């Protein structure tokens, strides 16, 4: 079996579908891995690390299984092998036309976001890990755009009161909670969350 790892083409997408450690594990199982030149560049993974792990650098689109992060474009779907398989985020609810195009191209596709969140599938859960990152990054971006400082500042010129922060969406597993935790770590005066899950109610209270 051959697995292909293309370079992501979506604007601002810095992730890559496979890292060298996973390539090593696949090689140990007899799976050939082809990585497009520069696929890991935006994730700070040079091609040399992939070749050291046993992958080859070349055209990944004709592989038996192609793994991606972002949904494929129409041009990328046209490069997939008929009868091949695509694994990645496919946005099936918001981009049904992508699934229709894949079906017309004769490609079997597996949407990572559609994997059920059950114990058996936990090792394949790609949503929670990305939600963790999103929640953390959201807090940092909020701080960058805020018109006041998050923590209380006491200076010789006076005291600046800490900000009050509202996190919209506590989330199921991570994003809202992580955002709240970041705010708490920088000692915001008050952190509040919104959410629809009563079981997460205790997570919406700030200890400050």
Read off the pLDDT of residues 128-185 as tens digits, 9 standing for 90 and up.
Answer: 778 777 777 888 888 888 888 877 888 888 888 888 777 776 665 544 455 555 555 5
Cβ atoms of residues 86 and 102 within 8 Å: yes
Hey, what domains does the chain have and what are their CATH numbers? 2-114 (3.40.50.720), 128-204 (3.40.50.720)
| Cβ atoms within 10 Å, residue 11 | 6
pLDDT-derived band at 63 (thresholds 50, 70, 90) equals very high
Cα separation, 171 vs 10, whole angstroms = 26
DSSP tally for the chain: helices H, then strands E: 6, 10
DSSP conformational letter for 188: B
Cβ atoms of residues 150 and 162 within 8 Å: yes
Which of 36, 47, 31, 44 lies closest to 9, judged by CA? 36
Look up the pTM and report it.
0.77
Q: Could you tell me if residue 147 is left (phi over 0), alpha (psi between -120 and 50 degrees) or otherwise beta?
A: alpha
Separation of first and last alpha carbons in the chain: 55
User: Do strands 108-111 and 158-160 pair parallel, antiparallel, or not at all (unpaired)?
Assistant: unpaired
The 10s digit of each residue's pLDDT in 13-26 is 999 999 999 999 99
Six-digit token string for 170: 């506590």
The 10s digit of each residue's pLDDT in 79-127 is 999 999 999 999 999 999 999 999 999 999 999 998 887 888 888 888 8
């Amino acid at each position: 079996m051959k697995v292909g790892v293309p370079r992501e083409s979506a604007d601002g997408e810095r992730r890559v579908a496979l890292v060298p450690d996973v390539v090593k594990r696949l090689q140990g199982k007899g799976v050939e891995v082809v990585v497009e030149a520069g696929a890991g560049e935006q994730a700070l993974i040079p091609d040399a690390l992939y070749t050291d792990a046993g992958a080859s650098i070349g055209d990944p689109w004709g592989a038996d299984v192609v793994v991606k992060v972002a949904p494929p474009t129409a041009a990328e779907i046209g490069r997939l092998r008929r009868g091949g398989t695509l694994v990645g985020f496919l946005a099936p609810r918001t981009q049904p036309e992508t699934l229709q195009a894949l079906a017309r191209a004769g490609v079997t596709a597996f949407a990572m976001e559609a994997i059920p969140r059950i114990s058996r599938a936990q090792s394949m859960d790609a949503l929670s890990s990305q939600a963790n990152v999103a929640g953390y990054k959201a807090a940092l971006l909020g701080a960058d755009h805020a018109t006041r400082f998050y923590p209380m500042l006491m200076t010789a010129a006076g005291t600046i009161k800490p900000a009050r922060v509202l996190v919209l969406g506590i989330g199921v597993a991570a994003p809202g909670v992580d955002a709240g935790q970041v705010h708490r770590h920088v000692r915001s005066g008050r952190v509040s969350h919104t959410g629809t899950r009563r079981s997460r109610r205790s997570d919406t209270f700030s200890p400050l």
